[in-house]
Amino acid sequence: MHFNKTSYFLAVVLAAQGVVSGDVGDYIWDITQYQAGLSHGNPADPTTSWYRFTVSGAVFGSLESETSVPAFGALCTGSGAGFLLSLEYSDCAMDATTGESDASVSARIVPYDNTQAHIAINYVFSAADGARNYTAVAVTDWARLRPPYNFTLSPSEVL
């Protein structure tokens, strides 16, 4: 499944954080074993949430090009609390066999509402022209009884 409808939401969320550049072509990330859950069990903190998934991206562009994007892979887990759900970015565990040693992946729950999960995924790496930052937002239903599943996302570059 490919989430094209995230473009508008992504632009709104990232506008306050930086300038979103144009189209990055056919660059996609694979999201596997994705789950995002929501519970209401703690009376002192009635809304808690969690997420767990792996994210990976293949090399994009020519390796000789200044605009190429190196491959990466990471396992992301995290949680959030309160309403509106909010969380600072949490570092994901990088797969040391893929990607650059100075690259990082992080994820967070984007403040929105409790009807759908909005998870922002951020990939930062060094390039010849400085640090590069790609971000994508997954907008999915909360897991409830749904088993983990896979999909793809198209990130945008944040300048």
Better pLDDT: 157 or 40: 157
Using CA atoms, how far apart are residues 56 and 70, in angstroms rounded to an integer? 11
Assess contact for 156 and 140: CB atoms under 8 A. Answer: no
For residue 150, which of 136, 138, 135 has the smallest C-alpha distance? 138
Assess contact for 86 and 67: CB atoms under 8 A. Answer: no
User: How high is the mean pLDDT of the chain?
Assistant: 76
Cα–Cα distances (Å) from 70 to 95, 112, 141, in that order, read 13, 31, 30
* pTM, full prediction: 0.77
Q: 159: cis peptide before it, omega within 30°?
A: no
Q: Which distant-in-sequence residues (6+ apart) come within 8 Å of 74 by Cβ?
A: 54, 55, 56, 92, 93, 94, 95, 105
Q: What are phi and psi of 2, to 5 degrees?
A: -120, 125
Which pLDDT band, with edges at 50, 70 and 90, does 125 fall under?
Answer: very high
Instruction: List the single range of 24-33, 80-89, 147-156 with lowest mean pLDDT.
Output: 80-89
The one-letter amino acid at 78: G
pLDDT at 56: 96
Hunting for tokens 């396992």 — which residue is that? 75
Using CA atoms, how far apart are residues 124 and 108, in angstroms rounded to an integer? 14
Q: Which distant-in-sequence residues (6+ apart) come within 8 Å of 64 by Cβ?
A: none
pLDDT tens by residue, 12-69: 344 344 444 445 678 999 999 999 887 766 555 556 778 899 999 999 887 777 678 8
Assess contact for 122 and 133: CB atoms under 8 A. Answer: yes
